[in-house]
Amino acid sequence: MKILILGGTEFVGRSVAEAALGRGWDVSVFNRGRQKPIPGTVALHGDRTAGKVGLAALESGTWDAVVDTWSGAPVAVRDAARLLADRAGHYTYVSTRSVHPYPASAGLPEDGPLVSGASADEAGEVPYPQAKLGGELAALDAFGDRALLARPGLILGPYENIGRLPWWLTRIARGGPVLAPGPHDSPLQYIDARDLATWVLDAAEKGLHGPYNTVSESGHATLGELLDACVRVTGSDAELRWTDPDTILAAGVQPWTELPIWLPAGEMHDTLHRGDVSKALATGLRCRPVGETVADTWTWLESIGGVAPQRPDRPPVGLAPEAEARLLATG
């Protein structure tokens, strides 16, 4: 197959490109050229924020499938999808489960209610849920039943440029007492970017369309299993100090941002870690063991000097050392 990846050099886009190359596909990537292209890909350059003139490199060529990971103004998805609609067979837009209003109920399927105020024609800054839903609308408008909407939630794995798992790995690698937000058996729902890439390519081959929640089953791993794996793969002397969520919240520590991945029981946890993924599982979605994701992320992190890349449009995550020390001292 011939595939065009809009992006293709970072995290999910890179994972898709590498997976497609592994299948022997003809892979083109379109981006601003700020990162080195993956060997074996055809590099096309342009700036989607510059309107139609920025898409000049896509004005010719045909592809069996397109994968788009755009997270900004929906108009960029609209313009690219319209330009490619007659020259590409299938269009996957990597969206998010955040297109549902918060809080989302436990077990919410793909046809649950969606956020209001989204438009495919929006060119300015909009909140993340509306931006992603606007991208969905743009893909559907141009490709109809040839458009696939992949809706992951938490994405982990090598090349992560948000910093969630890399933060835990680097913190645990430093060793000593580590604040671990309880409970140990808190269920997680996430996907390794490489498993997402595999499913997206399989789905493109099958011609799947419409929305799919693309994360693991809730409880595929627990937070305890993930952090235990971090201790194991780093080989550090870290001691996980499991702490009651109420104690952590009373200290003003923010779930998800200051203690990445973790969410206490309740609305936030139900929204992120208890979605219905039966539809994607029925099409063949498979998720690797958490230990493999953690080990491979650590290997990658060490290979680049221990400092993970950071997306410029996302704030850094992680708990300040002094805040952790204060909480540990009260335990």
219: alpha, beta or left? (left if phi > 0; alpha if psi -120 to 50): left
CA distance 138 to 115: 15
Measured over the CA atoms of residue 99, residue 101, residue 102 and residue 107, the dihedral's sign is negative
Strand, helix or coil for residue 205: helix
From first to last of the 331 residues of the chain, give the pLDDT tens digit: 999 999 999 999 999 999 999 999 999 999 999 988 899 999 999 999 998 899 999 999 999 999 999 999 999 999 999 999 999 999 999 999 999 999 999 999 999 999 999 999 999 999 999 999 999 999 999 999 999 999 999 999 999 999 999 999 999 999 999 999 999 999 999 999 999 999 999 999 999 999 999 999 999 999 999 999 999 999 999 999 999 999 999 999 999 999 999 999 999 999 999 999 999 999 999 999 999 999 999 999 999 999 999 998 889 999 999 999 999 998 6
CB-side exposure of 262: number of CA atoms within 13 Å?
Answer: 30
| Predicted local confidence at residue 113, as pLDDT | 98
Domain positions in the chain: 2-151, 160-188+219-273+289-330
Q: Spell out the SS3 assignment of 254-318.
A: CEECCEECCCCCCHHHHHHHCCCCHHHHHCCCCCCCHHHHHHHHHHHHHHCCCCCCCCCCCCCCC
List, edge to edge, every strand of the sheet that includes 91-94. 42-45, 26-31, 2-6, 65-68, 91-94, 147-151, 210-213
* Cis peptide leading into residue 109 (ω within 30°): no
| Predicted local confidence at residue 313, as pLDDT | 87
| Predicted local confidence at residue 36, as pLDDT | 87
Strand, helix or coil for residue 159: coil
For the domain made up of 2-151, the CATH class stated in words is alpha beta
Strand, helix or coil for residue 68: strand
| Predicted local confidence at residue 330, as pLDDT | 87
Q: For residue 138, what is the enclosing H or E element?
A: helix 128-143
CB-side exposure of 158: number of CA atoms within 13 Å?
Answer: 18
